[in-house]
Structure 1
């Protein structure tokens, strides 16, 4: 593509004079911005190369301390700082990955674009850094303010391993982020976004403003990097800086979590979890936001994806205190059925017939937390918990047997909180625990020695606690077994139970 006569007169496209006069920079950058914004500049070919080479030459020719001069000059529609911000925005858009119509996740052309753009951005930031040392050029602050948002988005888009990155593009993006932090005098990304002193309000709002057009229902999948930039940026901002931006961050998080792809569901739920943890309960309860979050998360529990279930349960456990903030124990009155009861009921319903080990492990991993949360009110779910505990103790989970360890932990908690109801279940629980110990002692289960030792210890602790709940019935039943048993491992466990002197479970749960 040949440059028009106006561009040639301004020095763009040909060999730039070594001493480009400052007032000529603004029209030259304006023309380059126009070329970069045209559709043909975003494709492969000579037009793209010419625009990038001309921009490179223009940056090289301008002196650092005079880079921003002429800003806001008479007759100028836009100053240099604003134009530079728009140029960087155009470069960031040019290097961003685009949605593939055929579903292909690879973006072979993007790493090369990102490497070229990264080199140009480094030179632009270098000019800003040089201008900082010149007392005669205060406009660099305005220029940096316009540039920092799109520079940040470019760096975060390309700095980590993704389908659209390469080692070269990741390296240059990392250099861009490091230089950006140095120029803005920020010690970390969190400081860059939130501000590190009273006079610095941070740039989180600016970044959200740039991402907003790409985070609605129609556009958020057109650039596959946007969701990652948004989620990563969101998780860098913590309390108390997150709450003022709640209206901007909650809708995109819900949108991403509501997608049909599991990967996006998990990413969205992780964003929601960060919001729940870092936004005050009063703000979440306002306008019924907490209920909206709860229903969105609860619906995900019907999806048989262990990664999603893991993320949802972690988020719900932190959301329960917000939802139940107004509920207080009033002694003689019955507590209203809470959201935690509803979730635990659904989890137990799913756990009982579940045969996939990863899902069983995920459910079991969080079961103790639900029992702790409900305390003595776990008694409402005792019948279903019995079935789940007995069923899960029969199936090993190699190699670390994590599922049964968590089920044994759950059983201990259930006995501590509901001990008056345990005496009628002594025989059934005793048989299940003894069978587990016998199976482990016979090496019929392919688990590691450390896991086997841990399970034996937990099972023994459960027997000791069961004995206390039954006022010594377990010791009496085990006395006959130890006389005829020849297995040293089983006998050792029984001896520990007979010698056990743990405190009565009622002493630990008076406040439950």
Structure 2
């Protein structure tokens, strides 16, 4: 499919699309000049995704977005308008990525007493697979360019949260959606030059050399925590079935000395999980606390009476009637 046909199908051609470009290009890909400014196009795609009225319409739109990322000229996709600059382009991509991810979002639990039935997630795996495929295509095109590190760092936390949500064996995933999520995570690591998931989160390595892209070795941990934190409150976390799993996965990738600066954001959710009445949440929380203790300097744990709080929480679980919880508490 050619780009002009794709934009026509989406009803996104600009009024100037009928005019022909006077310049020639050595690229086989379509010239960008007859089409909408990329920020305007991304904004319209975002609106269409949010306004889709059915899963079928949503899937079709996601497929069109994937084709856009595959066939459009990267110089058009990732070139900022002189008047708008990189900030607007990054915001436009961030909003579109959020809209895509929203298409694969999980329904909220009604309370903290039980999980949703598997039937509630019936449409999620197919949509998640499509979204992961579209975003993998975006990374493939993004990785073929030069100085796009800033844009990658803007969208990377969102992509990582999506991938972790869907590559685990859970009621809302299928073998296909898990494979798509793993492919997305691998593409993210490859595009950013990160060695593995801990490196993706924490960054690190040799200082930037002259001529290298600034920020090339930055981690995205802060960005991930910014995404998760609004859902990790005392009143909300149990309604988001995946957030505890993404939080725990994130924490368990982070080791010293990178954990300590974020201790104030890791410790409260871990305590919430530990204090929950459901066994799986309690065990997950104890594992998180164990990891925090192992990877935080004692001086930091003693600040603000944290060590005493940890001791009291873990000691309480030694008197639990649940042997699995006792075993986890003893290991901590």
TM-score between the two structures when normalised by the length of structure 2:
0.82
Residue 19 in 1 paired to residue 36 in 2?
no
**Residue of 235, 249, 263 corresponding to 2:280:** 263
Please identify the structure whose Cα radius of gyration is greater.
1
Write the distance in 1 (CA, Å) between the matches of 2:151 and 2:86: 16
Residue 49 in 1 paired to residue 59 in 2?
yes
Indicate the residue corresponding to 1:164 in structure 2: 172
Indicate the residue corresponding to 2:47 in structure 1: 34
Write the distance in 2 (CA, Å) between the matches of 1:299 and 1:7: 62
**Residue of 91, 95, 99 corresponding to 1:90:** 99
User: Structure 1 75/160 Cα, relative in aligned 2: closer, same or farther at 3 Å?
Assistant: closer
Write the distance in 2 (CA, Å) between the matches of 1:235 and 1:307: 20
Indicate the residue corresponding to 1:222 in structure 2: 239
**Residue of 301, 316, 327 corresponding to 1:299:** 316
User: Structure 1 273/105 Cα, relative in aligned 2: closer, same or farther at 3 Å?
Assistant: farther
Indicate the residue corresponding to 2:24 in structure 1: none
Q: Deviations over 1:12-37 (max 9, x none)?
A: xxxxx94343762210101112333x
Matches within 5 A, 1:453-492: none
Indicate the residue corresponding to 1:485 in structure 2: none
> Does the 8 Å contact 2:156/2:188 carry over to 1?
yes
CA shift at 1:259, angstroms? 1.4
> Does the 8 Å contact 1:73/1:79 carry over to 2?
no
Indicate the residue corresponding to 2:68 in structure 1: 58
CA shift at 1:57, angstroms? 3.9
Matches within 5 A, 1:206-355: 206-315=223-332
User: Structure 1 203/282 Cα, relative in aligned 2: closer, same or farther at 3 Å?
Assistant: same
Indicate the residue corresponding to 1:337 in structure 2: none
> Does the 8 Å contact 1:297/1:312 carry over to 2?
yes
Indicate the residue corresponding to 1:121 in structure 2: 135
> Does the 8 Å contact 2:162/2:181 carry over to 1?
yes
> Does the 8 Å contact 1:300/1:308 carry over to 2?
yes
Greater shift, 26-35 or 56-65, is seen at: 56-65
Indicate the residue corresponding to 1:74 in structure 2: 83
User: Structure 1 93/307 Cα, relative in aligned 2: closer, same or farther at 3 Å?
Assistant: farther
Indicate the residue corresponding to 1:193 in structure 2: 201
> Alignment partner of 1:292: what SS?
helix
CA shift at 1:304, angstroms? 1.1
TM-score between the two structures when normalised by the length of structure 1:
0.54
> Alignment partner of 2:78: what SS?
coil
> Alignment partner of 1:83: what SS?
helix
Write the distance in 2 (CA, Å) between the matches of 1:276 and 1:160: 26
Q: Structure 1 regions of 5+ residues with no counterpart?
A: 12-16, 133-137, 316-512
CA shift at 1:100, angstroms? 4.1
Indicate the residue corresponding to 1:426 in structure 2: none
Write the distance in 1 (CA, Å) between the matches of 2:324 and 2:14: 57
> Does the 8 Å contact 2:93/2:155 carry over to 1?
yes
Indicate the residue corresponding to 1:325 in structure 2: none
